[in-house]
A and B are shown apart, each in its own frame.
Chain A
Amino acid sequence: MELAVRCQNLQKRYGDVVAVDGLSFEVRRGECYGLLGPNGAGKTTTIEILEGLLAPDGGDVEVLGHRWKTDEQQLRQRLGVQLQETQFTDKLTVEETLRLFRSFYDRGKTVDELLGLVELESKRRSWVVKLSGGQKQRLSIACALAGDPDLLFLDEPTTGLDPQSRRQLWNVLARFREAGGTVLLTTHYMDEAETLCDRVAIVDQGHVIAEDTPKNLISALAKPKVVVHEGTLEDVFMSLTGRHLREQ
């Protein structure tokens, strides 16, 4: 099977702190793969290495069959990236921001198509500073989709959003996947991983401690406390680590 991402024995440390410690996983073309874990587990560091924003201290990374060292420009044309905490320019409009990002790509959708895709047509002429959190996040996704990417990286795409905004964002991702796109996302929301992901890797202290479909992980590991309760990924994480996922 063709792979979208292959990463093997990834290592990254910041001074004395080991952020990523021998992390390996593979993402197949067309699937939605989730990196699941508490804050500080190394998810963001991992995804930034895969995005070519950070150089790993060790290990091997291949994205869409290319390596960052040799094919950076080519790779950037084919990837969509949404980062945590990006704040777009306050006093540009939604449309102007999208035009700017669209101009960087050789191919891709028109600005109008992108606005439609993320349902921001009515906000086309609004300044970024006037958008709600959910609208800002959909703008961020639209910028990531500007080049019609083969692979989309999302780092905690729905953190801090209200339930309705989350659902809207999930719909955008569903449309992207219907068109054949591959998604790699990080999250610490269990329900998000269960809804969106074909497979998840549970990451703790810089390495993968379990990997499978959400369904298999739940049936193999979760110990439901109540019989009628089917068990969730939250239970899986607890039984693997003895800790709550949202524990800080």
Chain B
Amino acid sequence: MTSETRSGTYPPIIELTLARLREFVREPEALFWTFLFPIIMSVAMAFAFPSSSAQTVRVGITPGAGSDAIRQALSAAKDVVLKELPADDQLRALRNGEVHLIVEPGNPPTYRFDPMRAESRLARLVVDDVLKGVAGRQEPWRAKEDLIEIPGSRYVDWLIPGIISLSIMNNGLWSIGFMTVQARLRKLLKRLAASPMRRRDYLMAPVLARLVFLGPEVAAPLLFGVIVFGMPVRGGFISIGMVAILGALMCGALGLLMGSRARTFEAASGLMNLMSVPMWVLSGVFFAASNFPDAVQPLIQVLPLTALVDAMRAVILEGASFTAIRNELAIMAGWTILPFAVALKIFKWR
């Protein structure tokens, strides 16, 4: 038994990475979710929050004496949509956001609205201004308006880097976590542990494999934003790429950690939801993390997804330098190295 033939294979880490990539591309569903999810998400959000600067104000009017005059006055105003609403249907319409404010004719008229809603407060200002103007209010002066459009400040511009970060996290967590549990269930991990394969090679391979598809994964929603929404991209190819790579390494390491001991898909998905769902809310993907109380801000700022989202927005929207985002990069590096080391330590091979 001494045939000392050359192996004719690549080093183990490359072969393991290739195996992961093959497995991935031969799974059409995986490809679909990786590339289409962020785009579908961006489209949906863009429809929900239109990018046009003018926000329409939807106003309901109680039918009855004086309602015609009010309708006439308001229909002349810009960006106001009117709807006649009988009294017994008004609460429902307000609750659903079908209208933002209800005007009850009278002298003076009554405004019915929920002051906790920003759109309703805006509607009150607009309606009040129009009606008082019609009623003959004397304007002390009319201010000159200096309108400036700041490209990149729309909601959709702010949102897309968040969605890119979210998809980096989801793909890292779920693809790596699930493949690991699957290999454990199929006793493949045990078989590999019986071979001379170095264990850290096995754990590094899926994280490296993630990097191969990272380019299109980030570029697809970014191009979509540029082409469809005219979103400005101020950061360079290299800086966006570096943030994405570090983000993918971090989320891959977290996926490994979540999958390191789970013996069932249910256990693994429970862990991954436990870790990712709070971050969907807290890390400022859909609305600014600064909305949360100051007391929890230090916690929010060190979350892995917060660091990724903040860094991604900074490089894409502001063209920030690495020095400017060094805190976020440091947090991400920490969330890469520590989970990887712990996963390697506690990983169950059988």
Contact = CB atoms under 8 A, between A and B. Distances in A.
Contacts of A108: 3, 5, 7
Nearest to A101: B195
Contact of A92 (B9, B23, B194, B195): B23
B188 A53 contact: no
Given A73-B196, A99-B9, A104-B195, A148 B3 contact: yes
Contact of B23 (A76, A91, A113, A180): A91
A104 B188 contact: no
Interface string B173-192: 00000000001001110110
A51 B4 contact: no
A89 B19 contact: yes
Given A73-B196, A104-B12, A92 B1 contact: no
A52 B12 contact: no
Nearest to A99: B9
A190 interface: no
Contacts of A87: 186-188
A103 B22 contact: no
Nearest to B5: A110
B151 interface: no
A76 B194 CA distance: 7
Contact of B350 (A53, A101, A110): A53
Contact of A103 (B4, B12, B183): B12
Contacts of B195: 76, 81, 101, 104-105, 147
A53 B14 CA distance: 25
Contacts of A91: 22-23, 26-27
A108 B3 CA distance: 6
Nearest to B11: A103
Interface in B133-187: 183, 186-187
B9 A86 contact: no
Interface of B: 1-12, 14-16, 18-19, 22-23, 26-27, 183, 186-188, 190-191, 193-197, 350
7 contacts: A52-B194, A53-B350, A86-B186, A107-B3, A108-B5, A110-B5, A113-B3
